[in-house]
Structure 1
């Protein structure tokens, strides 16, 4: 497939697919805050409360990259 291995294709798809999905989830969280008229503090709580899982996933990737694995 154009000189790309299955492993490279899977890593590319996972990296950009998950990033796109996380951006979409961020859009959903902001839309939820806007539609519920949460205000600044409510939006902050929504983003922290529901966004911690995304932040943990990103932190895991950054730590893995920094350790070289």
Structure 2
């Protein structure tokens, strides 16, 4: 398709598609913190707990890049 292999398309989708989804999830978490009137500490805890999974995914990508896997 347009000179790209299936692997290149999948890598592009994983990189940019998941990054866009993560940004959207951050927007949702911020909206949740604002609507619940959590305060500073509550907002920090909401972001910490609800974004740990995203942090793990980014760490996995960084480790793969670092080790050249």
For normalisation by structure 1, the TM-score amounts to 0.95
Q: Match of 1:3, SS?
A: coil
**Residue deviations 1:5-57, cap 9 Å, x none?**
11101110111110011001100000000000011111100000111111011
Q: Residue in 2 aligned with 1:40? A: 40
Structure 1 ranges of 4+ moved more than 2 A: none
Q: Residue in 2 aligned with 1:29? A: 29
Q: Residue in 1 aligned with 2:59? A: 59
Q: How does 1:1-16 map to 2 (within 5 A)?
A: 1-16=1-16
* Count of residue pairs brought into register by the alignment: 69
- Unpaired stretches in structure 1, ≥5 consecutive residues: none
For normalisation by structure 2, the TM-score amounts to 0.95
Deviation at 1:2, TM superposition (A): 1.9
- CA distance, structure 2, for counterparts of residue 14 and residue 67 of structure 1: 19
